[in-house]
Amino acid sequence: MAGWAHHLIIAPVLLPLVAGALLAVYDERRQFLKGLINLFSTLANLAIAITLLQAADTDAPGVYLLGNWPAPFGIVLVLDRLSAMLVLLTAVLATASLIFSMARWHTVGHHFHTLFQFLVMGVNGAFLTGDLFNLFVFFEVMLASSYGLLLHGSGPRRVQASLHYVVINLTAAFFFLVGVALIYGVTGTLNMADLAARIPALAAENRVLLEVGAAILAIAFLVKAAMWPLGFWLLSAYPAAAPPVAAIFAILSKVGLYALLRLRPLLFGGEAGDAAGYGGTLLFAGGLATIAFGILGVLASQAMTRIASFSLMISSGTVLAAIGLSDTQVTSGSLFYLASSTLTISAFFLLIELIERGQNPGADLIAVTAEAMGAEPDAEDTATEGGIGFPGTLAILGACFVACALLLIGLPPLSGFVAKLALLAALFAPAGEGAAAGLSAANWAFIVLLLLSGVATLMTLSRVGIRAFWAPVDAVAPRVLAVEVAPVVALLLLTLVLAVKGGAVMQYMDETARSVLTPSAYVEDVLSAPRVPPAKAGLQ
């Protein structure tokens, strides 16, 4: 990248920051204008993300030196395949949930658009930064806006869920800080690439401290990624959130996964000497436990939002286990799975609200369960709706539900099947030394849990689907606007594109997994990034 295009790397952070600040100026009566600004910024962000993805598809990551300070001293932004892919995924989810919220959800509370932009900024920044402490700052930007968004719409249930969510995330932030401080104390640097370069030369007596620091740091990421004993907060927070908020929150757990996937090969990759491979077993076991917990939860759930939350945990667990194995093929399969499942769960959260809108809240089991959990009828459910209704609503919603189910279960023809196939194929054919000895017990456990998760989702979703679409005798078609169905359909169509273009996408994921797991090019590029020559004084 040359010329002005080089500065595009910082655009996914700057654009939402400027837009969010601008939105904070207008008061709440100018909802339409605010929505328009937000939509414009989100669409521009999507276009930038697509451009960045094309630019990132090389072996040399793009490095942006903030303030033109050379790499280990200043903060760097790094754009490689993994970051570009996740920035694009964020932009897609943001566009979908924003368009969905424009129908009515953005008016149920204050400062929705501002917080939305800041959330996008935090997530993008976390994906792009190459500095550990900067990662913390972007994490906090993301979390602070997510606190506000979780409260969007208010009501006792949301406030209660927020209280727990905020406390847990603040505590996790302390773990983050302690971990970062320990790592800095031992290595004397916070730049991720510089860390990778310094760790092999670390004195043996300091290695334990480094490992303790990394483990404490990992707790912060694992809380965010909702690994089994650390992820219970997700089950009260996500179902309580407003649907468009839950849809964009689907990317938040991926930030934790991203940080693990990025840092583990850098800190404890093959070149790290004695520290190499630290924590792999624990991540793998934790991932499997998360899948197992998710399976039980999916089977036990009645409410659709809870099923979606447990599905999110299953997808987190699957990626975590893959990170623990640190095998190129498995990782590339899990990246495909990550993209596919994030799109699916986001669409599912949006869809659930549309489906449940049509149901009589007093009569069915879902509402009973919700009441047992201490929920009260939400005020916004009684709000009047304007606009044009959508014909054939139930048919469309039913078709979308079937598509979501196919994706979550992993049945053809959508991308959920391709993703699971790629993962299973990689697990059945392990590369390297284990190839001759047959499949290891770990691989078998992963395969079995992966298949079981599909079966459990199939059972639950058919039960819920029958109850929602076939059982009601006097079904009243929910009043749904075209602008609300469109994002769901668009997200599901994207998964179809992922499946149809499976070959090209899989190739991209292979390259991504390879460059993430062997980060020598990343380290070299960051540390040797050339500074922009100083501008000549005066014009000539």
Partner 1 sequence: MALLLATCIGILAGSGVWLLLRPRTYQVVIGLSLCALAVNLFIFSMGRLRSGAPPVLSSTAGALADYADPVPQALVLTAIVIGFATTALLLVVLLAARGFTGTDHVDGQER
Footprint on this chain of partner 1 (rule: CB under 8 A)? 133, 137, 140, 143-144, 147-148, 151, 154-156, 159-160, 162-164, 166-167, 170-171, 173-174, 177-178, 180-182, 184-185, 190, 374
Q: Is 533 left (phi over 0), alpha (psi -120 to 50) or beta?
A: beta
List Cα–Cα distances, 217 to 23, 133, 135, 136, 165, in angstroms: 34, 11, 12, 10, 19
Half-sphere exposure in the Cβ direction for 31 (13 Å, CA): 12
Cα 309–Cα 315–Cα 316 angle in degrees, nearest 5: 90
CA 517 to chain centre: 20
Residue closer to partner 1 by CB (options 167, 435) is 167
What is the C-alpha separation between 410 and 455, in angstroms, rounded? 9
Half-sphere exposure in the Cβ direction for 119 (13 Å, CA): 31
What is the C-alpha separation between 200 and 275, in angstroms, rounded? 8
Q: Minimum distance from CB of 378 to partner 1 (Å)?
A: 13
Q: Minimum distance from CB of 158 to partner 1 (Å)?
A: 9
Residue closer to partner 1 by CB (options 148, 244) is 148
Cα 57–Cα 59–Cα 60 angle in degrees, nearest 5: 100
Q: Minimum distance from CB of 128 to partner 1 (Å)?
A: 18
Residue closer to partner 1 by CB (options 84, 143) is 143
> How does strand 76-79 pair with strand 62-65?
antiparallel
Q: Minimum distance from CB of 148 to partner 1 (Å)?
A: 8
Helix (H) or strand (E) holding 492: helix 482-500
Residue closer to partner 1 by CB (options 67, 533) is 67
Q: Minimum distance from CB of 73 to partner 1 (Å)?
A: 10
Residue closer to partner 1 by CB (options 156, 434) is 156
Residue closer to partner 1 by CB (options 156, 389) is 156
Q: Minimum distance from CB of 275 to partner 1 (Å)?
A: 19
Q: Minimum distance from CB of 167 to partner 1 (Å)?
A: 6
User: In a 3-state reduction of DSSP, which class is residue 388?
Assistant: coil
DSSP state, residue 466: I
Identify which of 171, 168, 206 has the alpha carbon closest to the alpha carbon of residue 185: 206
Residue closer to partner 1 by CB (options 101, 169) is 169
Residue closer to partner 1 by CB (options 256, 287) is 256
Residue closer to partner 1 by CB (options 273, 374) is 374
Q: Minimum distance from CB of 80 to partner 1 (Å)?
A: 26
What is the C-alpha separation between 402 and 398, in angstroms, rounded? 6
Residue closer to partner 1 by CB (options 236, 334) is 236
The one-letter amino acid at 96: A
Residue closer to partner 1 by CB (options 146, 326) is 146
> Helix 156-187 crosses helix 132-150 at what angle (to 10 degrees)?
180
What is the C-alpha separation between 265 and 463, in angstroms, rounded? 42
Q: Minimum distance from CB of 156 to partner 1 (Å)?
A: 4
Give the count of beta carbons closer than 10 Å to the beta carbon of residue 253.
Answer: 24
Q: Minimum distance from CB of 109 to partner 1 (Å)?
A: 12
What is the C-alpha separation between 98 and 36, in angstroms, rounded? 10
Q: Minimum distance from CB of 180 to partner 1 (Å)?
A: 8
Question: What are the residues whose beta carbons fall under 8 Å from the beta carbon of 505, sequence distance 6 or more?
Answer: 336, 339, 498
Residue closer to partner 1 by CB (options 188, 413) is 188
Give the count of beta carbons closer than 10 Å to the beta carbon of residue 424.
Answer: 17
- DSSP string over 158-171: HHHHHHHHHHHHHH
User: Cis peptide leading into 413, omega within 30 of 0?
Assistant: yes
What is the C-alpha separation between 154 and 135, in angstroms, rounded? 30
Looking at 151-203, list the stretches that DSSP marks H as alpha helix, in order from N- to C-terminal side. Answer: 156-187, 192-198
Q: Minimum distance from CB of 532 to partner 1 (Å)?
A: 24
